[in-house]
Every structure is written in C-alpha cells, then in structure tokens.
Amino acid sequence: MAKGFKTGGRKVGSKNKTTIKRLDIARDVIAGVRCTSTPLDVMLRAMEDAMERNDLAAAHNFAKDCAPYVHPKLSAVEHSGDADNPVVTKDVSMVDRPVRETREEFVARRRAELGNPLH
C-alpha cells in the first residue's frame, strides 16, 4: 500500500477453488448428475421402506447398521484419583431440565416483545 491503493492480489469478484467446487456440485445436483444422498441416508430410507412393508427383520438389520452412526457407543471410563482428593461423582440424571417453548409460544412472545409489527 505504498502508493496509497491496492496494487496486487486477487481481483474483486474472482472465485477461489472452494467456490468453484461448490458451484460445480450445485450445477451437477440441479442437472441430476450428482447424488446428494449419503450412505446413511440410503440405509435409513431402506429401513423405513422395510417398516412400511412390515418386514421387521430387515428393518432391524438396517437399524443395527445405522445405529453406530446415529448413536455413538458409550465407553467405559475408569476414574482414578489421589487418595487425599478422591473423585466426586454427582447423579444429575434426575435434574429438572427447562421445558423448551413451542414455536407458537416463541412467536407469541416475540410479537409481544416487538409490539406485534406484522398484525
């Protein structure tokens, strides 16, 4: 910037590699060339189809295959600590969680806060 204005670098509006790749993918999806489904999407769809056909054995197999991707396994954790400062555990499974407001309650609250500008 010695001259008081920008003298180099990327031109305004030029596309970088990521933008070009994203536009190519979007163009392929619109043209129907590229599939946007993931393997998990396909397995879940197959499971739903099996459920609709009342084929519970097939649906169970699909659910078993999908489960690791949707519900991670819990691993065993060994707690070790200093004898003078033992590890303290606290059961929080019964703690009351705040109830999440519904969409209608949210809209009503926001309208009241904003003075109901749309109606």
* Residue 28 lies inside a defined structural domain of this protein: no
The Cα–Cα gap between 46 and 55 comes to 11
* Residue 16 lies inside a defined structural domain of this protein: no
Which residues touch 62 (CB under 8 Å, ≥6 apart)?
43, 44, 46, 47, 50
pLDDT for the residue 100: 78
* Residue 29 lies inside a defined structural domain of this protein: no
pLDDT for the residue 53: 94
CB 47 within 8 A of CB 55: no
* Residue 43 lies inside a defined structural domain of this protein: yes
DSSP state, 92?
-
* Residue 51 lies inside a defined structural domain of this protein: yes
* Residue 49 lies inside a defined structural domain of this protein: yes
Give the three-state DSSP class for 26: helix
Q: Which residues span the domain enclosing 60? A: 37-73
* Residue 8 lies inside a defined structural domain of this protein: no
Q: State the total domains in the chain.
A: 1
> pTM for this structure?
0.37
Give the HSE-up count for residue 28: Cα atoms under 13 Å, Cβ half-sphere.
Answer: 10
* pLDDT tens-place values along the chain, 119 residues long: 567 776 777 787 888 888 888 888 778 777 766 666 778 888 888 999 999 999 999 999 999 998 888 888 877 777 666 778 777 777 776 666 667 788 888 888 888 888 765 55
The Cα–Cα gap between 50 and 62 comes to 9
